[in-house]
Chains A and B, each alone.
Chain A
Amino acid sequence: MSAIDNQKIYLSRKDDQLYLRFDGDHESVPVSALLAAPLSEDRKIISIVHKKDRKELVLLKTLDRLDESGRKLLRDEIQRRYFLPQIEKINDVNIHLGDYYWDVITDRGSRKFLLRSPAINMRWVGSKRIILCDSDGIHYDLDDFDSLDKDSRKLLERIL
């Protein structure tokens, strides 16, 4: 690995906008932080791209090159950018005309949504995780089938 790959980087934030500065540089550039694989189990790989021309500036496989405040800023930015509610409880789910109607509680609050074409929009990742995509294109993450409460599991088993 070349030296440049271990170069420290610094993040800062102003007016809701993330800025990146390489160690030794004077100027900060406005950037966006993107997950390389937002839906698969490994959400750790983060690409930092230039806000304007979308060119990649650095690809982070770990957070080693950041200081503590930079890590926090990056985590906050990812949390802000990636709206992927985690399903914690299923209040109700039923099927009508082949469409699935879900009523769930997520880590971002409760939500009723409609899921169409279940063959495409209910995707298994491994054997315990399901990603649901609703009719508006919002994804919901059901992280661990087994960790749900009994009622939710029962509802799920009825339709899966």
Chain B
Amino acid sequence: MSGRRIDQSMQYQPMLPDSVIRDLQNHGYAPESAEYLISADILADGNFGDSWMLLIGVKLVITDGQRVIEQLSLSDIKRVYIEELFASACLKAECREGDKCLLRYTKSRASDFANFCRVLNERIATGENVAVREEANTVCSQCGYPIAEKDGVCPKCVPNWSVLKRLLGLMQPYKSRLYLVVICTFIAVAAQMIPPYITKRIVDDVIIVKDASALSLLIGIMLLAGIVYLSARWIIGATSAWLSARLISDLRARLHLHLQKLQLSYFNKRSSGDIVARVMQDTTELQQFLIEGLPFLLVNGFSFIVISVILLSLDSGLALIAFFPVPFLIVGVHWVWQRLRPLLYKRGRYRGEITSILAESVRGVRAVKAAGFEQARADHFNEYNEKFFHSLRRIMTGFVGFSEGSYWLMSVGVAVIWLFASIRLTGADDNLSLGDLLAFVGYIWLFYAPLQWFGVIMNWMNNAFAGAERIFSILDTEPEMYDRADSIQQPHIKGEIEFRNVHFSYEKGKEILKGLDFHIREGEMIGLVGKSGMGKSTMINLICRFYQPDSGQILLDGEALDRYRLRDLRHAIGIVMQDPFIFYGSIRENIAYGRPNASIDQVIDAARAAHAHEFILDKEFAYDTIIGENGVELSGGERQRITIARAILQDPAILILDEATSLVDSETEQSIQSAIDALVKNRTTIAIAHRLGTLRNADRLLVVDDGEIVEQGTHDQLLQSKGIYARLVKVQSELNELSAKAHIA
């Protein structure tokens, strides 16, 4: 049993080096019989470095890379705990003779240690083995860097072609158009090859021999080739534009859907701007590359090969001369591009900077004016504006120099061809005609021209593919679990809730809920009391299944919460939030958000019950008034009453009031309170309020402190017990008195 455990932990924690194993054996320990193994990344002297702690038998053994540095008996330890330090932490043991620092580690290991600490304490308290929760692999075994998304795949080590393969996979439904593009590419390249050849024929067969009989045919073919080339390019352009637009629209739709299905924790870690930028910018970048870049690569890559063959077959000697500038062009492009790229990054950074300064100045215009900061803001803006200008100037000069320089290099190649060919022609070389030379020069321009852009396009492709990979990384992020095979079908949710030893943390290592146990009866009204940041809103998040608990169980009507389909569950829960969210749309649509089919009568009844009816009628378009972003502004209290009406209309089994009346003034609060009282009746209600007076009607109050329930009972019971709640009430009534006095004064 214990052997298996260490095998499991070995998978995700670095294996012990041989030297450590030998040293442990010299001390008489058998490392393979260890129950637990944990590795830390800071040494005792505060430097980066690996050390390990093993639980072998009843001994805790700590070793750094060199030797065993500490051996402790479990019986000497009362408990272990974590001391949070700056960007790092220390696992400490409370021993009889004082506290001891066992291991030091950075935030990277916080999650492992939080888990380990809990497990070890249970082991000390009960003497029994406790299962270790497995952690995902966080460091790439190939490159040694931390893995960006915690899904075990290092994006740095995924090759480029797999992105292309996936993109092609997305085009599967539009296969026929893809073939059309490829076929037209062949036709375009073939048509492009014709005019220089016709030139040769005109010079050799018409002009030199002074015989015009074939001229009209040759000119006709030349014109026809032009039309074929034009048509093929037009079809390529139009089809690839269609394809890429189609592909990008598909991708965006999938992204949008997928984003909504992701767990909330995904959004905690990223700014909304970041996500929106990914969806819009990355897809746009990809689209532009697919429209312009990819056909360019296809057509020119193919014609490059064809022309090489033609040149060699025309005259291999001249062809070799023509190839001579190619390496210089490629190296030159690379050299210039290396120097341009940092400038492009810089330009992006400065542009971001001036955008955010501008946005801040506009949004904070009142504060800026009030502080008399207009000039300082302007200077700040100018500083980056000038930097932006200079980076732009350097990029532009660089680009011009680059394209003129490569043109010159090509001209040198052509001049050398003229030189050698002319020498051979005047020396009466029979293998070369004037027509050959002209055709040659014609092909050479076709050959050189795209070369200078190849490097740029390849770079463009890298960027576009990077964007594609970012998009895929969102699509690959696991969504919330909506349904399970054994989900309860069409449940009738009554609203009995039970927490059994629930642990939870948003950020690894910082536990918010520390083993919650409580039971809420059907139809009961519960008030959650406690200072902010103690875990009240977190409990609500868990009930709504916005997050999954780290350990422990949550039961609804006696069944595990995740056995309900997410839709059924969320439908049974009505939430009135502290910061009510209003969607862009009419007031009517906003109230009917949870029940889109509700009739106007039902909407009005709900609004009336929420004391929202009168203020809604006062708006110019009453229930059809458009609210939300860019719509009519509502006050905080009005927004809250709309969401209360929304909850009333939804008629949920479980009602959650998260500071539902915090934004309303006292007078309105009283009127809403009666609405809420009516709403609360006959359904399970969980209410959070800082103004304790609003919780007086609760059947039971749970006092939450530091992730645990420290007191529970009715208002009167808790007052009598003179605990935390009694103290909070006292402080608040004192405050109220003070403000009342201030009013009178």
Partner-B contacts on A (CB < 8 A): 14-17, 38, 79-85, 96-99, 101, 106, 108-114, 116-117, 119-120, 134-139, 157-160
Contact = CB atoms under 8 A, between A and B. Distances in A.
Contact of A82 (B49, B85, B155): B85
A81 B86 contact: yes
Interface in B92-112: 92, 97-101, 106-108, 110
A157 B151 CA distance: 32
Contact of A113 (B88, B146, B352): B146
B46 interface: yes
Given A83-B42, A135-B148, 14 more contacts: A81-B86, A83-B86, A83-B106, A84-B86, A96-B466, A97-B155, A99-B155, A108-B48, A109-B49, A110-B48, A111-B48, A114-B148, A136-B107, A160-B345
Contacts of A139: 87
A83 B87 CA distance: 6
B742 to A, nearest CB: 28
A64 B379 CA distance: 40
A113 B85 contact: no
By size class, the interface of chain B is 35 or more
Contact of B107 (A79, A98, A106, A138): A138
A145 to B, nearest CB: 15
Contact of B86 (A14, A82, A159): A82
A67 to B, nearest CB: 24
Given A83-B85, A85-B48, A108-B48, A136 B146 contact: yes
Interface string B143-161: 1111110000001100000
Contacts of A97: 148, 155-156, 466, 469-470, 473
Dominant secondary structure at the B interface: mixed
16 contacts: A15-B98, A16-B101, A17-B99, A81-B86, A83-B87, A97-B466, A98-B466, A110-B48, A111-B48, A114-B147, A134-B146, A136-B106, A138-B88, A157-B342, A159-B345, A160-B345
A36 to B, nearest CB: 13
A135 B211 CA distance: 78
A79 B99 CA distance: 19
A5 B469 CA distance: 59
A112 B87 contact: no
Nearest to A120: B271
B274 interface: yes
Contacts of A80: 46, 85
A101 B98 CA distance: 42
A114 B47 contact: no
A134 B138 CA distance: 13
Contacts of B99: 15-17
Nearest to A96: B156
Given A96-B155, A119-B352, A113 B145 contact: yes
A16 B107 CA distance: 21
A119 B88 CA distance: 24
Contact of A101 (B92, B100, B145): B145
A111 B107 CA distance: 14
A139 B271 CA distance: 20
A66 B108 CA distance: 36
Nearest to B88: A83
A109 B473 CA distance: 32
Interface of B: 42, 46-49, 85-88, 92, 97-101, 106-108, 110, 143-148, 155-156, 270-271, 274, 342, 345-346, 349, 352, 466, 469-470, 473
Nearest to A83: B88
B185 to A, nearest CB: 30
A151 to B, nearest CB: 16
B277 to A, nearest CB: 10
Contacts of A136: 106-108, 110, 146
Contacts of B146: 112-114, 134-136
Contacts of B147: 114
A63 B247 CA distance: 65
Given A14-B98, A16-B101, A117-B271, A138 B46 contact: no
Kindly list the 5 A-B residue pairs having the minimum CB-CB distance in the complex, ordered from nearest. Answer: A15-B98, A109-B48, A83-B88, A136-B108, A82-B86
Nearest to B470: A97
Nearest to A113: B146
A10 B676 CA distance: 58
A38 B274 contact: no
Nearest to A140: B87
A107 B88 CA distance: 16
B46 A117 contact: no
Which of B48, B86, B99 has the most chain A CB atoms inside 10 A of its CB?
B86
Nearest to B157: A96
Nearest to B155: A97
A116 to B, nearest CB: 7
A139 B470 CA distance: 25
Nearest to A105: B48
A117 B274 contact: yes
Contacts of A83: 42, 46, 85-88, 106
Nearest to A116: B148
A98 B155 CA distance: 11
A48 to B, nearest CB: 16
A21 B97 CA distance: 22
Nearest to B270: A117
A114 B108 CA distance: 11
Contact of A79 (B46, B106, B349): B46
Contacts of A135: 146, 148
A97 B100 CA distance: 43
B510 to A, nearest CB: 11
Contact of B87 (A84, A110, A114): A84
A137 B87 contact: yes
Contact of B144 (A82, A112, A119): A112
B734 to A, nearest CB: 21
Which of A38, A108, A111, A134 has the most chain B CB atoms inside 10 A of its CB?
A108
A132 B270 CA distance: 17
Contacts of A106: 48
B148 A99 contact: yes
Nearest to B274: A117
Contacts of B143: 101
A14 B586 CA distance: 66
B141 to A, nearest CB: 13
A101 B156 contact: yes
A148 B254 CA distance: 46
A108 B98 CA distance: 28
Which of A16, A98, A139, A160 has the most chain B CB atoms inside 10 A of its CB?
A98
Nearest to B41: A111
A28 B48 CA distance: 33
A83 B466 CA distance: 34
A116 B148 CA distance: 8
Contacts of A108: 42, 46-48
B328 to A, nearest CB: 24
A84 B270 CA distance: 24
